[in-house]
Amino acid sequence: MIRSATLPVLSSFPPVTDNSRLRLFSGSANIPLSQEVARYLGMDLGPMVRKRFADGEIYVQIQESIRGCDVYLIQPTCCPVNDHLMELLIMIDACRRASARQITAVLPYYGYARADRKTAGRESITAKLVANLITQAGANRLLAMDLHSAQIQGYFDIPFDHVYGSPVMLDYLISKQLEDIVVVSPDVGGVARARAFAKKLNDAPLAIIDKRRQVHNVAEVMNVIGDVAGKTAILVDDMIDTAGTISEGARILRQQGARQVYACATHAVFSGQAVERLSSGLFEEVIVTNTIPLAEELHFEQLKMLSVANLLGETIWRIHEDTSVSIMFR
């Protein structure tokens, strides 16, 4: 069980027994994370065949009876996003046709979450399209972690549990006993996230980086709102993609006199020049979680990866037992 001042967990839950109606299956996107979740729950991942035909089509077969069972399908829709999304839809359809009682899609990372609204004419709201696909495939419930936009929950007409990776990162930061902390939002849109993070760090002060984004994946940092001089700055975001935004933020924090800069983000997308930027010496540490698997070549000295498996496992158990999920984050 997770033992944490920031994530209270009931210790009375027994491990899942063989005759339980709970079944856990993993897509191919992040099998190590799924295995950790299964170990937390005291069970094995369900047997399943996954393969590709010569033309690239995906084949899925559940290899045990799940009739009348509550099935949880763990599949972050990370790169390659389209392949992993399609595999998830096929897994959901297979479970629906196998007469599962309830199908919960567990997305530690929700791909296409940044396409959550129209910013120009003739654009698709792809986050909504993905919600429609998952629902129409047959999912009865969705569990996701740290959505880029919280309003994506409203795109679903099925129950939606939204959980956060912050307790895991907060526990790690608290263990480091950092002093003179200031929590920094890399943009105005992330202020609510940063404020909640700061509150858990003994109401640490908050700073905001004002930026102007000209094109996708390119941000121009303007100035810092708040006092960071001589302090340990903790940049908080939901994801790091190309690392352009967070690296420019760290650079201006250093220029404004920050003594140390840490980066915290739940999802390590790490595209393009991300590793080069993050390992350039701007950061003391880059703290992420394992919602997305990272290839060995994407690891670097300053990287610290934390596991959210226990948090996801606890959430799955609480959903299965019809107990509160939100209480874990109060």
> For residues 288 and 304, what is the distance between their CA atoms, to the nearest angstrom?
6
Cβ neighbours for 32, distance < 8 A, ≥ 6 positions apart: 290, 293
Name the DSSP letter for residue 163.
Answer: E
Strand partners, 218: 215
142: which 2 tokens? 């969705």
Catalytic residue among 118, 128, 199, 211: 211
- Between CA 151 and CA 145 the distance in angstroms is 13
Strands (E), the chain: 22-26, 48-52, 58-62, 70-74, 102-107, 141-145, 160-163, 181-185, 206-215, 218-225, 232-240, 260-268, 285-289, 303-306
The first and second tokens of residue 264, run together, are 């915290």
- Which alpha helices (H) appear in the chain, and where do they start and end? 31-41, 81-97, 126-137, 166-176, 191-200, 244-255, 274-278, 309-320
Q: How far apart (Å, rounded) are the C-alpha atoms in residues 224 and 208? A: 6
Beta-carbon contacts of residue 30 (< 8 Å; ≥ 6 apart) = 74, 75, 76, 78, 108, 290, 291, 292, 293
Contact criterion met (CB below 8 Å) for 283 and 255: no
Interacting residues of 287 by C-beta distance below 8 A, sequence separation 6+: 169, 172, 173, 262, 263, 264, 265, 304, 306
Decide if 211 is catalytic. yes
**Which active-site residues does the annotation give?**
211
